[in-house]
Amino acid sequence: MSQLQKMMERQSQLIEAYKPIVKSNGQELYDGPLPVDIKSRAGQDYLRRTIYNVMEEVGELQELYYERLAGQEGEGHTSKMYEESADIMHFLLELMILSGISHHQVQLGPVKNSKIVYIVEALSTSYQELSESDLFVALYFWLTQAGHELKLRPWKQESKPTDQNNYKINIEIAFHHFISLHVKLGLLPESMYEDYMLKSEKNLERITNGY
């Protein structure tokens, strides 16, 4: 089983674990089967909210990047960057699960027992040659493009068809830009799996302890 598959299985557990909390907080809850029904308004609304969650975490990582550029790194700054990267991975995996994107669709290089680092090695030079700032912009862009494909707007009465293939491709491209960004920021690719699993354990503990 690849590291990415293990991560997606763990994230599926977290999705289910968070449902009672979301419901108890009075938030609107999509409680249907996964992946969501992308043809429904409720399904598309859930996807949009998850895209926003990803972008919010990207913004927090970008803030740390700007602090580095300004020479304002405080104690534990690099550790915070690793943690924010793990948070992005958390919501990106959730978005892929909700969207019906399997680990096979984003896995590059050998799949069996493969590590995240193989995805990094298989990414084209066009990704690797982008600057940190370019990768942040690209990540926002492809996530926005994915959201744009969700045509069932709450304020519109007409129903336009959603190009599900284009939507998924945009998410897959965003995922690969994120992997490239992680490495471009000087963070170790080997850490992505361990950091995600450690953060997911922390999140499960928070759920158990009522955080």
Identify the CATH number of the domain in which residue 142 sits.
1.10.4010
Q: Looking at the domain assignment, is residue 155 inside a domain?
A: yes
The residue that leads in pLDDT, 13 or 120, is 13
> CA 165, 170, 175, 181: dihedral to nearest 10 degrees?
160
pLDDT band at residue 155 using 50, 70 and 90 as cut-offs? confident
Q: Looking at the domain assignment, is residue 119 inside a domain?
A: yes
Backbone angles phi, psi at 87, to 5 degrees: -65, -40
- DSSP of 105-163: HH--S--TT--HHHHHHHS-HHHHTS-HHHHHHHHHHHHHHHHHT----TT--S-PPP-
Average pLDDT over residues 140-161: 86
pLDDT of res. 109:
57
Q: Looking at the domain assignment, is residue 208 inside a domain?
A: no
- Number of compact structural domains in the chain: 1
Taking the CB of residue 45, how many other CB atoms lie within 10 A of it? Answer: 17
Q: Which of 1-5, 49-53, 76-80, 83-87 has the lowest mean pLDDT?
A: 1-5
Q: Looking at the domain assignment, is residue 194 inside a domain?
A: yes
Query: How far is 137 from 83, CA to CA, in rounded Å?
Result: 20
Average pLDDT over residues 153-168: 83
Q: Looking at the domain assignment, is residue 207 inside a domain?
A: no
Domain of residue 39 covers 3-21+34-202
Residue-wise pLDDT tens digits, 171-209: 999 999 999 999 999 999 889 999 999 999 999 898 888
Percent of the chain surpassing pLDDT 70: 91
The pTM score is 0.91
The residue that leads in pLDDT, 134 or 112, is 134
pLDDT at 124 over 70: no
pLDDT of res. 105:
86
Q: Looking at the domain assignment, is residue 28 inside a domain?
A: no
Q: Looking at the domain assignment, is residue 68 inside a domain?
A: yes
Q: Looking at the domain assignment, is residue 26 inside a domain?
A: no
